[in-house]
Amino acid sequence: MLDLVEQEKRPGDHVVLVDNHPDLRCSKIAEDHPGVDHVLRPGNIGFGAGCNLGAKWLGDEIDVLLFLNPDAFPRPGSINVLREASTRGWGAWMGLVLLPDGRVNCAGNVVHVSGLAWCAGYAEPAGRYSKAEEIPCLSGADLAVDRRVWEDIGGFAPEYFLYYEDIDLCFRLQLKGYKTGILPESHIEHDYDFQKNERKWFYLERNRYLFVIRTWPLSVIVVLAPILLAVEVALWLISLAQGRFLLKVRSSVAFLKVLPFALRSRHELQAGRVISPVEFLDMLAYRIDTPLIDSFARHPFTNAVLGTYYKLARSALAVFVRPR
C-alpha cells in the first residue's frame, strides 16, 4: 500500500502512519519506507483517535486529509482524483471501494431507520457506479476531508473506539450543512471481511445506541421509536438464539457508561444543527436490501411495512415540526 501512495505523492504532501497494533509490524515497515514522513505509535487508542492524532501531527498546512485503512490499496491515479475533488465544495468525499475480485465493497454507507448501517452497493458490479454524486454517508476506509471542515467539526469522536465513527462524522457534517460525495472513478481495493467476531459485534451494538442518541434530532427519534424498539427486541432475541446474550448485555452496559458523553455532546450538536428533521430523515433508508443482512429481514413484506411507516413518519415531521 505504501508503494502505491508514494507513487502519487506530490510536493507538499505528507504521509503519516499511525500504528495502533501492539506488535508494531506496520511501524517497522514504514520506518524504512521513503514515502513515509512520520510514524506514530500511540498504542491501541482506537480508529478515530488514531486518525485524530495523525491529523494533529500534520498541522494546518495540509488542505485535504486523506485517511486510508492499512488494507486499502489505491489503484493508480485514484489518489489524484480524490485530491482534485477539493474544488467541488464538498466537506468530505470518498472513492469507490472495491473487493479484491473487482466487485463493490462500499459505495458509501447506508444508515437505516433502525440505526443499523451497512456498506452501500455491496457485491454489485463496479460499472454500476460511474458518476460523481452526493451521498449522505461515507466509509472511513477511504475518506478525504477538507481540513477547514475537519477543524470545524472536531474530527472523529474517539469515544466510539471502533465502528460507527465514520458514520457519526458524516452525520455531524450534514447537521452543519456540509455535503459529502463519492467519486467512482477513484478505485480503492479493500481486503474486506464482513464476519462479525465478538469484539466487532460488541462495538457495533454499543455504538449504534451512541450514534442515535448523539446525532438524531429528538423529533426523528420520537417518530421512529416503534421501529427502533422493534429492531431492538429482535436483536435481543437474535443474540439469545446465537449465544450472544451476555455480549448484548455487556454492550448495553458499556453504552450506559458513555451515555453522559452522548447527552452532553448531543446538546451542542443539536444546537448547531442547520438542517430540518425532515432533511435528516431523508438521509436514512427504510429498505433492507443488502446481502450482508439475513434474508428474513429483507422480505418484501418487511420492506413494505417499513416503507409505509417511513412515509407516515415523514409526513408527520413535515406537518408538526418546524424547520430551523
pLDDT digits (tens, 9 = 90+) for 280-312: 999 999 999 888 887 777 888 999 999 999 999
Q: In this predicted structure, which of 33-37, 257-261, 269-273 has the lowest mean pLDDT?
A: 33-37
- % of the chain at pLDDT higher than 90: 79
* Per-residue pLDDT tens digits for 167-182: 999 999 999 999 999 9
Judged against a pLDDT cut of 90, whether residue 79 lies above it is answered with yes
pLDDT at residue 196 in the model: 65
pLDDT at residue 90 in the model: 97
Judged against a pLDDT cut of 80, whether residue 250 lies above it is answered with yes
Read off the pLDDT of each residue in 19-35 and give the average, rounded to a whole number: 85
pLDDT at residue 298 in the model: 81
Judged against a pLDDT cut of 80, whether residue 133 lies above it is answered with yes
Judged against a pLDDT cut of 80, whether residue 81 lies above it is answered with yes
Hey, where are the domains in the chain?
Answer: 2-190, 198-320
Q: How far apart are CA 5 and CA 35, in angstroms?
A: 8
Q: In this predicted structure, which of 45-59, 90-104, 186-200 has the lowest mean pLDDT?
A: 186-200
pLDDT at residue 51 in the model: 96
pTM above 0.85, yes or no: yes
Q: How confident is the model at residue 99 (pLDDT cuts 50, 70, 90)?
A: very high
Read off the pLDDT of each residue in 51-59 and give the average, rounded to a whole number: 94
Q: Is the dihedral of CA 124, 129, 164, 298 positive or negative?
A: negative
pLDDT at residue 194 in the model: 67
- % of the chain at pLDDT higher than 70: 98
pLDDT at residue 289 in the model: 87
More confident residue, 26 or 263: 263
Extract the C-alpha cell encoding 254: 458499556
Q: How confident is the model at residue 165 (pLDDT cuts 50, 70, 90)?
A: very high
Paired with 40 in beta bridges are 18
More confident residue, 172 or 62: 172
Judged against a pLDDT cut of 80, whether residue 11 lies above it is answered with yes
Q: What are the start-end ranges of the H helices in the chain?
A: 2-7, 25-31, 47-58, 78-84, 147-153, 165-175, 198-215, 218-223, 225-241, 245-271, 277-281, 300-320
* Beta strand spans in 87-167 (E): 92-98, 104-106, 109-111, 117-119, 133-134, 142-146
Closest CA to 188 of 302, 291, 66, 305: 66
pLDDT at residue 213 in the model: 97
Looking up cell 442515535, which residue turns up?
Answer: 212
Q: How far apart are CA 249 and CA 206, in angstroms?
A: 10
More confident residue, 297 or 53: 53
pLDDT at residue 324 in the model: 61
pLDDT at residue 145 in the model: 97
Q: How confident is the model at residue 207 (pLDDT cuts 50, 70, 90)?
A: very high
pLDDT at residue 294 in the model: 78
pLDDT at residue 27 in the model: 84
**CATH architecture for the domain at 2-190:** Alpha-Beta Complex (3.90)
Q: How far apart are CA 248 and CA 293, in angstroms?
A: 18
Read off the pLDDT of each residue in 54-60 and give the average, rounded to a whole number: 91
Judged against a pLDDT cut of 90, whether residue 191 lies above it is answered with no
